[in-house]
Amino acid sequence: MAHLITMPAVVADAEDAVVASWLVSVGNAIKQGQPIAEVETEKATVEMESTGTGTLSRIVAETGAVVAVGAPIAGLLEPGEDESAIDQLMAEADVGHGTSEVAREPAAQPQASQASPTPEQAGADTSDSSTRRVFASPIARKKAKEAGIAFEHLTGSGPNGRIIRADVEAAIANQAPVEQPQMQATVQLDVSTEQKYRAEKASPMRKAIARRLTESKTTVPHFYLAVDIAMDQLLQTRSKVNDQLEETGLRLTVNDLLVKALSTALLEVTEANATWHEDTIRYYETVDIAVAVATDGGLITPVVEGVDQRSLSSITAAMNDIKERSAAGKIRQDELEGGTFTLSNLGMFGTREFSAIINPPHAGIIATGATEERVVAVDGKPEVARMMTATLSADHRVVDGAVGARLMQSFKRVIENPLRLLV
């Protein structure tokens, strides 16, 4: 029986996604559950699996197309069937989605009515606006409420006339701009000295990173605490453990040990193992740590679940898997969600110290720099020690200064006494 493959909701409240690439071609035999395409969401590029079995007869959405969730992207046929079966399903799908245009160009802008209609416009719509049901995505409703826009007067560009986030953003853009004070002087640019540049359209992931981090930095009250940590004992312990693991093929990295150390510290300072949700703080009994990983498309934070219950070798295996699949763009969407705290390590790049931006709704993120030799005072005498600076960025709505200080104290103590990581 002919089957249409539709764009899945790979992200909660997703309205659309981009077809990044096709892994199969027309004429290929496809099995249910087989990866057939890579779909780019706001957080990552993930593999999409076929929802049916048959021969790939038609690709509806080409690479680069922005496709609404639930809209067809490909069609499958079974032996004995012809293209008319796909045509029939497409016609039915068009009726169900309220449009025959299932794939939209990334640059297309939705049309929206003015956020503040004239009395005549409002009057023309009053007769049925109180009775007709308005369909809108949750994020569109939230943005409309924040902007004070009556979305009942908007024209939806989503499936079946559904109002989506882009419609609300277009309405906000159509509002009368706030009058800005006149500049006292106008700067004249010398066109002849204008620098050359290369313009590159931001990917959905890059735009999501920009939006989320800007929102975090401007709405989450950050505060910062830094500690210097002696790394000699940890590095010696790592060397001994790696000697024992040589036959397994696993090798502990400093980052693996830092993940375990953070987990141990969060078990000791449970008030920091939390997330912020509107007017509620959630405290967790287990520790799931998001680890910042740099990819070609941008920064992602896959979550290692149950770190507090894992052995060091288990953490190493999990981290190796995350690194390999992150580089190949194979991280699943569910692996990017959840978590209770974040670790970001730039030590491998020689960065001495830095302050990271919190990954909401996490209570905080610890940023670690490079391990380097420094002169320190020991019993009143100068000695050379291998040191690392760790900086906590904490959400003051969840974590108070004293709690943050205790967390960093515990993190430092565990690293400087690494045998605790082995029990």
Kindly report which listed range (169-173, 176-180, 209-213, 324-328) carries the lowest average pLDDT score: 176-180
At 208 the pLDDT is 79
- Mean pLDDT, range 361-375, rounded to an integer: 96
For the ranges 108-122, 151-165, 247-261, the maximum mean pLDDT occurs at: 247-261
The pLDDT of residue 214 is: 92
In the predicted structure, residue 143 carries a pLDDT above the cut 70: yes
**Structure pTM?**
0.65
pLDDT band at 137 (very low <50, low <70, confident <90, very high): low
Query: What's the gap between Cα 246 and its chain centre?
Result: 35
Residue 356: pLDDT over 60: yes
Is the model's pLDDT at 322 over the cut of 80? Answer: yes
Torsions phi, psi of 256, nearest 5? Answer: -60, -45
Catalytic: 396? yes
> What pLDDT, in 10s, does the model give residues 169-207?
778 777 755 454 454 555 555 555 578 889 888 877 788
* pLDDT in the model for residue 81: 87
Q: Which residue has the higher pLDDT, 125 or 417?
A: 417
Instruction: Check whether 342 has a pLDDT greater than 80.
Output: yes
- What percent of the chain has pLDDT above 70? 80
The pLDDT tens digits of the residues spanning 295-314 come to 887 888 999 999 999 999 99
Whether the predicted pLDDT of 291 surpasses 50: yes
220: which 2 tokens?
A: 């989450």
Domains of the chain, start order: 3-93 (2.40.50.100), 138-171 (4.10.320.10), 221-422 (3.30.559.10)
Give pLDDT, residue 125: 41
Average pLDDT over residues 329-344: 86
Q: Tens of pLDDT along 43-87?
A: 667 788 999 999 999 999 988 888 888 889 999 998 888 888 888
Looking at residues 340-348, what average pLDDT do you find? Answer: 95
Per-residue pLDDT at 382: 95
338 pLDDT above the threshold of 50: yes
Compare 249 and 149 and report the one with higher pLDDT: 249
Mean pLDDT of 25-42: 88
**Catalytic residue from among 3, 277, 362, 396:** 396
**Between 168 and 138, the higher pLDDT residue:** 168
- Select the highest-mean-pLDDT range: 126-135, 145-154, 163-172, 196-205: 196-205
Task: Report the chain's mean pLDDT, rounded to a whole number.
Answer: 82
The pLDDT of residue 192? 54
